[in-house]
């Protein structure tokens, strides 16, 4: 993916003259990326009609131009902002009016079920895909190619050359992003050492374990000192030591002011390392905030461990509902006006109480609740 982004450096002006469009660099570069990516997806069993692909991409650019006229002024705080991003694949609505921010110095966990729209959103941020509607902003202005060139991207489907040596590959990628040869070699050595791969610098990527390949892939996103990190499933398949190592690096980059957005299905990990979390389902954001903020918007529930309590012991309580009963433990949900002390008194009336505490939902609980509410709200 880094190679796709950087090939635009030389294609930019040539492409502008060839296609004869009065376009900004960002729009043209996005079109060229799209053409190249489509070409690379062609298999030997399929034919590739270059003119049809280019024509299709130009149609997208013309439609994009009509939605984003020249001179449009947009403002926001620093960092990344998405405003009303919408993307269709034919009749499939992949992203639906998506809006959120990733602030400088923030680790933003982006979670959702498979097919929810996470990868499509990331590709729109990078310029690999063009949105049908909406804006991608950087520091309050439409994001430009020079900024996208400085984004460290880790794709879900790894993009390393399997027969290239790890050190050479990182040096090569750093130079593609503009680093001088000596600086690129030094950065490559630094990140290999940082991820415990100093002795594997001369090994081909294909000879490394899955976890070590993951480390090299993250190093590839870091080796040129990026202004933002966009990481698609960076922790997939890693052992706990590798997870801790990568997490520490992400927090260090955030501490240096770099916005970090990553997707993951490991919700316990997302809860542990994220400053804020966005939950996406069917292309739209169903929840966003710190984990504490997401918890505060949930139901008011208490765990009660009352060994002598029998079914129906909460019947006299107004606004109380039993959500779950696990042996002697009861999960009670209260309406906002109901008193938790009334629940405690009712439990004590049955006998001894060994536990009485507020239920603190995990991110997994919050995620499940959000998915349930979204399914209920969705049109049939």
| Annotation: CATH topology of 299-360 | Alpha-Beta Plaits (3.30.70)
Instruction: Confirm if 2 and 173 have CB atoms less than 8 A apart.
Output: yes
Kindly tell me if the per-residue pLDDT of 159 is higher than 90.
Answer: no
Treating both helix axes as pointing N-terminal to C-terminal, what angle do 210-222 and 240-255 enclose, rounded to 10 degrees?
10
Q: Round the CA-based radius of gyration of the chain to a whole number and report it.
A: 25
Entry pTM: 0.74
pLDDT at 19: 35
pLDDT band at 4 (very low <50, low <70, confident <90, very high): very low
Q: What is the pLDDT of residue 23?
A: 40
CA–CA gap between residue 356 and residue 62 (Å, rounded): 62
The pLDDT assigned to 64 comes to 45
Arithmetic mean of pLDDT over the chain: 82
Bridge partner residues of 89 (DSSP): 92
Candidates 3.30.1060.10, 3.40.50.300, 3.60.20.10, 3.40.50.720; CATH matching 80-288: 3.40.50.300
More confident residue, 22 or 159: 159
Closest by CA position to 305, among listed 355, 358, 359: 355
In this model, does residue 308 exceed pLDDT 70? yes
CA-closest candidate to residue 184, choices 196, 171, 194, 193: 171
Q: Would you say residue 12 has pLDDT above 70? A: no
Per-residue pLDDT tens for 184-226? 999 999 999 999 999 999 999 999 998 899 999 999 999 999 9
What sign results for the dihedral spanned by CA atoms 47, 50, 53, 55? negative
**Tokens describing residue 216:** 């090299």
List Cβ neighbours of 118 (8 Å cut-off, separation of 6 or more).
Answer: 110, 111, 112, 232, 263, 280
Asked whether residue 289 carries a pLDDT value surpassing 60, the answer given is yes
Of 131-135, 152-156, 335-339, the least confident? 335-339
pLDDT computed for residue 196 by the predictor: 92
Looking at the predicted structure, is the pLDDT value of residue 329 above 60?
A: yes
- Mind listing the pLDDT tens digit for each residue in 81-109? 999 999 999 999 999 999 999 999 999 99
How would residue 375 be classed by pLDDT, with cut points 50, 70 and 90?
low
Q: What is the pLDDT of residues 29-63, one digit of tens each?
A: 455 555 444 444 433 333 334 444 444 444 444 44
> What does the pLDDT read at residue 299?
84
Task: Give pLDDT, residue 193.
Answer: 95
Looking at residue 369, its pLDDT comes to 83
Domain locations in the chain? 2-67, 80-288, 299-360
């Amino acid at each position: 993916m880094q190679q796709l982004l950087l090939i635009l450096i030389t294609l930019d002006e040539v492409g502008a003259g060839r296609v004869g469009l009065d376009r900004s660099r960002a729009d043209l570069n996005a079109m060229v990326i799209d053409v190249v990516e489509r070409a690379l997806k062609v298999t030997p069993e399929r034919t590739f009609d270059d003119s049809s692909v280019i024509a299709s991409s130009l149609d997208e650019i013309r439609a994009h131009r009509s939605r984003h006229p020249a001179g449009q002024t947009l403002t926001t705080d620093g960092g990344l902002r998405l405003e009303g991003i919408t993307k269709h694949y034919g009749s499939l609505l992949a992203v639906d009016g998506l809006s959120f921010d990733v602030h400088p110095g923030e680790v933003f966990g982006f979670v959702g079920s498979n097919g929810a729209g996470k990868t499509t959103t990331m590709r729109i941020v990078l310029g690999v895909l063009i949105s049908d509607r909406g804006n991608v902003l950087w520091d309050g202005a439409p994001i430009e190619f020079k900024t996208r060139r400085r984004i460290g991207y880790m794709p879900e489907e790894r993009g390393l050359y399997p027969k290239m040596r790890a050190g050479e590959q990182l040096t090569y990628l750093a130079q593609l992003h503009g680093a001088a040869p000596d600086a690129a070699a030094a950065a490559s050595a630094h990140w290999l050492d940082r991820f415990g791969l100093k002795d594997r610098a001369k090994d081909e990527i294909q000879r490394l374990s899955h976890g070590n390949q993951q480390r090299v892939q993250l190093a590839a996103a870091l080796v040129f000192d990026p202004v933002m990190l966009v990481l698609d499933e960076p922790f997939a398949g890693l052992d706990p030591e590798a997870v801790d190592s990568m997490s520490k690096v992400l927090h260090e980059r955030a501490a240096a002011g770099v916005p970090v957005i990553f997707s993951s299905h490991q919700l316990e990990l997302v809860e542990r390392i994220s400053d804020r979390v966005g939950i996406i389902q069917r292309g739209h954001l169903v929840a966003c905030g710190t984990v504490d903020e997401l918890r505060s918007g949930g139901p008011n529930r208490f765990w009660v461990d009352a060994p002598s309590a029998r079914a129906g012991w909460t019947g006299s309580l107004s606004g109380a509902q039993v959500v779950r009963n696990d042996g002697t433990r009861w999960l009670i949900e209260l309406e906002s006006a109901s008193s938790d002390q009334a629940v405690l008194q009712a439990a004590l009336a049955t006998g001894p109480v060994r536990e009485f505490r507020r239920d603190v939902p995990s991110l997994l609980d919050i995620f499940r609740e959000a998915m349930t509410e979204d399914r209920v709200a969705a049109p049939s």
